[in-house]
Copies of this chain bind each other. A is one copy, B any other.
Amino acid sequence: MSKNRTALAVLTEAEVLDFLPSPSLERLQDLLPDLEIVDPLTDEFGDWPRRLAEKRPEILITGWKVPTLPESWLEDPNYSLRYLCHCTGTVRKLIPRAFLDRGLVVTNWGHSISRVVAECGLLLTLTALRRVSSWSIDMHLNGAWKTPDVYVESLFGRQVGLHGFGNISQHLARLLKPFGVRVSTYSPSVPDSLLESFGVARAESLEDLFSENNVIIELAAYKPENRHLVSEKLLRMIPEGGTFVNIGRGAVVDEGALLRIAREGCLQVALDVYEVEPLPADSGFRGLPNVTLLPHLGGPTIDRRQDAGAHGVDNIERYLKGEPLESVVSLSVYDRST
């Protein structure tokens, strides 16, 4: 099925090692015997538009370091590209929109990274409840030890609200299962049957979600109408002694409001994502003992880049067989992405 498909992979040496460890690279080479792999960081990579014009790839496999596709290539009568398999996340800076208009099929790492992000959500929740961030500072820098009535909390017995019920949220529901906690979600578009299969209850409104759970995990997708959707009013509905975790998108939350509330010291806050990234060095969140901060480490971790690579190889195989692809970056996904 795969003979004579012209394919070019533009991946650094490190990307090949991280994304395509054995047996992924071997599988890919079996599927695409004529595959050429070039490292965009080497001198021999040369002139990108000329390389594309000469190679005339039908399939491009790309990573973080690939240069932007030259729009001029679309004018080339021998323009050949039909499928771009991007091994990482957003393609906004890599692919001008005109390529998608012209019918280019694009996929990215899609859901292959969801479980690792979900893991980070569980980690941040447990971290916030057990006050690991402030204990890390106090144990390492202040010679601290606990007092008899040290206040830390467990996840057991809590009510967890997931804002959004996409793939990451679904993985998180799986990780929460053995804790036996009540999990509910606000995600109007999700059918009852899906929620039932996860044992997750439906919150009828965002207000219900925030007022009826003492752990809120933010996972709503970013789209313009979701900007600052999580307002001061909503955040103040979280019951006393509650916890707010954001592993979704920073801009979904009114960060100024969250900072005001965090400064009052009652809400435990754990953040992996921010409205402005990198988080400014003088951000007011830095230094607050009830706030856990990670620098957008949600996922995938380096050791799980292989999941994204395997997902890409699966998609190559589907493409060659004429089957539907997963994690397709449609025009509407493209326009929503950052």
Instruction: Please list the residues of chain A having a beta carbon within 8 angstroms of any beta carbon in chain B.
Output: 14, 64, 115-116, 119-120, 122-123, 126-127, 129-130, 132-137, 139-141, 143-146, 148-157, 174-175, 177-179, 277-279, 281-282, 286-288, 292-297, 299-304, 307
Distance, CA A177 to CA B179, complexed state (A) = 11
Q: Report the minimum CB–CB distance from A267 to chain B (whole Å).
A: 16
Contact B297 A115 (CB under 8 A): no
Contact A120 B130 (CB under 8 A): yes
Can you list 17 A-B contacts (CB < 8 A)? A116-B156, A119-B126, A123-B126, A123-B127, A123-B130, A123-B132, A127-B132, A132-B132, A132-B133, A132-B292, A136-B293, A137-B137, A139-B295, A140-B287, A140-B288, A143-B281, A154-B300
Chain B residue numbers with a CB within 8 Å of A304 are 154, 156-157
Which one, B148, B293, B294, contacts A130 given CB within 8 A? B294
Indicate whether A296 sits within 8 Å of B146 (C-beta atoms), given known contacts A137-B137, A178-B177, A179-B175. yes
Known: A123-B126, A123-B130. 10 other contacts (CB 8 A): A116-B156, A120-B130, A127-B132, A136-B136, A137-B140, A139-B279, A139-B293, A157-B303, A157-B304, A177-B178
Docked complex Cα distance between A145 and B271 (Å): 13
Bound CA span A279–B293, Å: 26
> Do B156 and A286 touch (CB < 8 A)?
no
Separation in Å of the A316 CB from the closest CB of chain B? 22
Of the residues B123, B137, B156, contact of A115 by C-beta under 8 Å: B156
- List of B residues within 8 angstroms of A129 by Cβ: 301
- B130, B141, B295: the one within 8 Å of A137 (CB): B141
Q: Do B132 and A294 touch across chains, with their CB atoms under 8 A apart?
A: yes
A116-B156, A127-B127 given as contacts; is B297 within 8 A of A143 (CB)?
no
B157 touches A297 (CB 8 A): no
Are the CB atoms of B137 and A301 closer together than 8 Å? no
A181 CB to closest chain B CB (Å) equals 11
Given A156-B119, A175-B178, A302-B151: A295 touches B132 (CB 8 Å cut-off) = no
Residues of chain B lying within 8 A (CB to CB) of residue A64 = 148
Tell me whether A152 and B293 are in contact (CB under 8 A): no
